Copies of this chain bind each other. A is one copy, B any other.
Amino acid sequence: MINTALHEQAWSHPLLCKLGSIADLSDEEKQAILDLPVSVKVVEADIDIVQDGDRPSDCVLVLSGFVCRYKILPDGKRQIMGFYIPGDIPDLQSLQLDVMDNSVGALVRSSVALIPHRSLREMLRRFPNLNDILWRDTLIDAAMFREWMIGLGRRSAYQRIAHLLCELQVRLQTVGLAKVNGCELPITQNEFGDALGLSTVHVNRVLQDLRRDGLIVLRGSMLEIPDWEALQAVGEFDPTYLHLKK
């Protein structure tokens, strides 16, 4: 028997949507996730959700908006280490590592669900498969870091930006937040720079190059990708590292 209520919620619950994109969930497991006690919180743009050095007792699930993981260096420079979208749990690591070694902040007004570690642990104990899936999720996170490392270390600014746009487009698509040929990206050029190890000025120039070459159309925060194959080729983007189910 299919639980209709469950299936209706499933679509609307970003975490089910996201986890469903990387593994199969049984109805029982879905229900367990829906049963998690959460407190929803709205976070304004540029406000931290978790800070470097914190010892969180909850995990943060992004429900709407756009969030990033970053660290501020002694000289004030910022390195953004990942963008997180609805369905993501940017500080899932806090379940196993007591102290945060980076901050998580909102790029735009976002809503997040706080899930107590205690409830999460209890659920994982009851459903070992969910434990595996969340572990898997943190490993995919790590794979994204590695892919960014490759960009930072060995790819040109032009390739790096193309690659990041591809990654975001694919990830947004898996949670239904992108059209086939584009998406909304509320990320400033300054933030792109902090993520890709580039200056804002250079990001701006390279974006212009990408536009000139017909690889992207960018109006405000609306990204359109006229030729997906081409952009993918430029960015050497191969989605294998996202480990999505086919």
Instruction: Give the B-binding residues of A (Cβ under 8 A).
Output: 69, 71, 73-74, 77-79, 81, 93, 96-97, 99, 101-102, 125, 128, 131-132, 135-136, 138-143, 145-150, 152-155, 195-197, 236, 240-241, 243
Q: What are the residues of chain B within 8 A of A96 when measuring CB–CB?
A: 132, 135-136, 139
Q: What are the residues of chain B within 8 A of A196 when measuring CB–CB?
A: 153
Q: What are the residues of chain B within 8 A of A74 when measuring CB–CB?
A: 236
A174 to B243, CA, bound (A): 33
**Beta-carbon contact of B240 and A81 below 8 Å:** no
Pick from B97, B132, B135, B139: contact of A143, CB under 8 Å: B97
A132 to B196, CA, bound (A): 32
Sample of 18 more A-B contacts, CB < 8 Å, known A138-B138, A152-B152:
A78-B154, A79-B154, A81-B146, A93-B142, A93-B143, A97-B136, A99-B240, A101-B143, A101-B240, A102-B146, A125-B128, A131-B131, A142-B142, A145-B146, A149-B152, A152-B153, A153-B195, A153-B197
Q: What are the residues of chain B within 8 A of A77 when measuring CB–CB?
A: 154
A196 to B154, CA, bound (A): 9
Q: Give the copy number.
A: 2
Report the 3 A-B pairs with minimum CB-CB distance, sorted nearest first.
A153-B197, A152-B152, A142-B142
Main secondary structure of the interface of A (DSSP, over half): helix
Known contacts A79-B154, A131-B131, A135-B96: does B149 contact A101 (CB below 8 Å)? no
Query: Mind listing 24 A-B residue pairs with CB under 8 Å?
Result: A73-B154, A74-B236, A77-B154, A79-B149, A79-B150, A81-B146, A96-B132, A96-B135, A96-B136, A97-B139, A99-B240, A99-B243, A101-B143, A101-B146, A101-B241, A138-B138, A138-B139, A141-B142, A142-B142, A149-B149, A152-B152, A152-B153, A153-B195, A154-B197
